[in-house]
Structures are given as C-alpha cells and as structure tokens.
Amino acid sequence: MPNLPARVPFAPACGHPSLVRLLAWAVAATVGGTLGGLFDLPGWSGGMGSSGKGGGGLAVRSAGAADDYALGPDSQRRDGVPRGTISAAQSLRSEIFPGTSRDFWVYSPAAHDVTKPTAFMVFQDGPSYMKEDGQFRVPVVFDNLIAAGDLPPLIAVFVTPGTLPPDVPGGKPRSNRSFEYDGLGDRYARFLLEELLPAVERTHKLSRNPECRGLGGISSGGIGAWTAAWERPDEFRRVLSHVGSFTNIRGGYAYPGLIRKVPKKPIRAFLQEGENDLDNLFGNWPLANRQMDAALKASQYDYRFVMGDGGHNGKHGGALMPESLRWLFRDWKDHAP
C-alpha cells in the first residue's frame, strides 16, 4: 500500500463542494480525535468532549447506546495495595515519522527492580489509559491485579501520537495520529522497536520474550496495536483493542481477508466493540469488528471478542479492563521475561 501524506488537504474532487464539506464535517464531529490530522477542514475546530458533542460541524450519531457500564472493584483504589509509580513525561522525536515529536510516561510496579527484564504493555493514546479517574485507569488496575497475582510484574508505557509543527506561525500543532495508527505496514512497529522502546530501556529493562510484550489502544490506537503485532509477532504477541478502527480509514478493512489467507500468527488478542459504534463513509465499526471476529475464529486464533451496546468510547472497554488483562496474561507464570 503506498504511503499516504500525513494530512490530506480538503479539496473535493467530485460532487457538490458544500455537500462533501458537510459530510467531512460530519465525520470529523463523529470521530473527533480518532481521525485527528487526517483532513484539513476549513472552519473545523474539532474535538469530542465526554458528552460526545463535537466542537463544531454536524455529528452523525447512531442509535442511542445504553453505555451503562460501571467500573468494578479492580478499577478502584484499595487500602493496603502497594502503588506503582509513573515517571515524568519524556519527549521523543522520531526519524521514522520525520518532524514529529511525542510524549511518553512509564509506569513501574511497586518495589520493582528496574535492572531485571520485565513484561510490559505499550498503550497508544497513553494519557487516556493512564488517568486514574478516567475510563481505563490502567495504573490502578495494574496495582490491584499484580498484588493479587493475576498479572506478572508489568511495566506500562503510555505514549501519545506524534505531532508536527504548525503550518503557519502561531497555529496549532498538527496531529500525525491517523498516519501512525491507521496505516498498514511495519512503520509503527519500527517506531516502537527502534525509537520508543530503546528510550524506555534507558531506565527500565524490558523483556525480550514476545509472550511478555503487549500492545493496547482504542479506536485507531486499537488497529495500530494489532498492526504492530501483525507485522512483528516475533516481538509482540498480546493485543488489546477497544472499538478498533478496522475500517477503510487507511486500508484496515483488509485485515479479515489477510487473517484468513496468511498462515496463522502467534498473536493472542482481546477485541471489544459496541453495537452503537460509528457508521460513516469510512465504514461500519460493529460490522468491521464482527468481520475480525469471524476471521480470527476461522483461522483458529487465540482471541476473545466481546460485543456490547456501547458507542465509540472507552466505557465498556474500561469496565472490561481487569478481565481482559487477566485473560491476555492468563499463563504468565509459564513465560519467563
């Protein structure tokens, strides 16, 4: 697949310009940060708040979702459970994605010896997974499950997508998120292996065992996690996808066919999706994830697929976080880091 530019100028090639602009605005309002940086939309201020209302444009929403998922006790702070630590933000410039920079943080479990090889997970869109009062609360869940023996001592790397300098003086930085996460091929895997993980290893010793190395993300971050493992199963064999964008943003709809045709890869994956997820000109998210489910089943992958009634958010995935991590690392005692 040819490399696409990081940002596609908004210049309709066919159809009524105002209609095409309306459709593009609708998609941007619906997906919000999911497609950050994919289009240059005049007059679009973008962004999606927790209420699901865009900062501008017209949102196309599917039927109302119940989305009444509650976080369980493993996602809450408990007295007596040792707390891990999270490093200060570190900045990382990339040569694989030229001109971009991003921040990352590292969670270390309590009483962790940073000189010993340790299992880890990398979370795309890291801050959304790192927040203790957010939908996922990974540090809290890690603390509780590690203390209970349900997880090995596990490092978490929280990384943001890259940004590019503004187009004009005084402008806003441009997001490279879709280009990094939605694209097929080995480029993001190379970024992880050649740039991010070496930066983490300046202070933390990471496991070399692919059974102890996982990736997770939501939406475009979900397909990005899958793509990196798909390209390099010799390096990453645990994947956690929340409402993954296996649609035609940058060709991700091809995966069900590839999974059926390519010899089975040693990947274990947990996929979560919602009946009321997105349906727009890039595809239908519930259908795309069902296609992934069917392909993984037909090819006899080690996977779980959970369909709920939610929309394009982390509510269901957050409620499932403890269960999904237990399942992904259920045999951790059989794998030395």
The enclosing H or E element of 90 equals strand 90-93
Give which of 209, 189, 78 is closest to 144, Cα–Cα: 78
Question: Kindly report the CA angle at 189 between 154 and 31, in degrees rounded to 5?
Answer: 90
Give 2: exposed, middle or buried? Use CB within 10 Å, 0-12, 13-18, 19+: exposed
3-state secondary structure of 126: helix
Return d(Cα 281, Cα 248) in angstroms, integer: 9
Comparing 332 with 28, which gets the higher pLDDT? Answer: 332
User: Which residues contact residue 330 at a Cβ distance below 8 angstroms, ignoring those fewer than 6 apart?
Assistant: none
The enclosing H or E element of 285 equals helix 285-298
For residues 135-154, give the mean pLDDT. Answer: 98
Residue 41 has pLDDT above 50, yes or no: no
Res 32: pLDDT:
43
Lowest model confidence (mean pLDDT) among 35-39, 72-76, 246-250: 35-39
Identity at 96, one-letter amino acid code = I
Lowest model confidence (mean pLDDT) among 47-51, 121-125, 150-154, 195-199: 47-51
Give 70: exposed, middle or buried? Use CB within 10 Å, 0-12, 13-18, 19+: exposed
Comparing 299 with 52, which gets the higher pLDDT? Answer: 299
Return d(Cα 214, Cα 332) in angstroms, integer: 12
Residue 126 has pLDDT above 50, yes or no: yes
Give which of 269, 279, 280 is closest to 217, Cα–Cα: 269
CA dihedral over 184, 19, 44, 53, signed as positive or negative:
negative
Res 66: pLDDT:
73
pTM: 0.83
Return d(Cα 312, Cα 159) in angstroms, integer: 21
Beta bridge partners of 250: none
What confidence tens digit (pLDDT) does each residue in 288-323 have? 999 999 999 999 999 999 999 999 999 999 999 999
Res 5: pLDDT:
40
Residue 35 has pLDDT above 70, yes or no: no
> What is the token pair recorded at 300?
């006899």
Report percent pLDDT > 90 for the chain. 80
65 confidence band (pLDDT: 50, 70, 90): low
Q: Are 305 and 275 in contact (CB under 8 A)?
A: no
Lowest model confidence (mean pLDDT) among 62-71, 80-89, 130-139: 62-71
Helices (H), the chain: 17-31, 126-130, 138-148, 177-181, 187-191, 197-200, 220-231, 255-261, 285-298, 315-328
> What is the token pair recorded at 207?
């496991």
Classify strands 238-242 and 279-280 as parallel, antiparallel or unpaired.
unpaired
> What is the token pair recorded at 277?
């997820």
3-state secondary structure of 159: strand
Q: How many CA atoms lie within 13 A of 259 on its CB side?
A: 27
Give 155: exposed, middle or buried? Use CB within 10 Å, 0-12, 13-18, 19+: buried
- Give the C-alpha distances (Å, rounded to integers) separating 62 from 9, 30, 166, 278, 284: 27, 10, 34, 7, 10
Q: Are 142 and 151 in contact (CB under 8 A)?
A: yes
Residue 156 has pLDDT above 80, yes or no: yes
For residues 278-290, give the mean pLDDT. Answer: 98
> What is the token pair recorded at 320?
């499932």
64 confidence band (pLDDT: 50, 70, 90): low
Residues in the chain, how many?
337
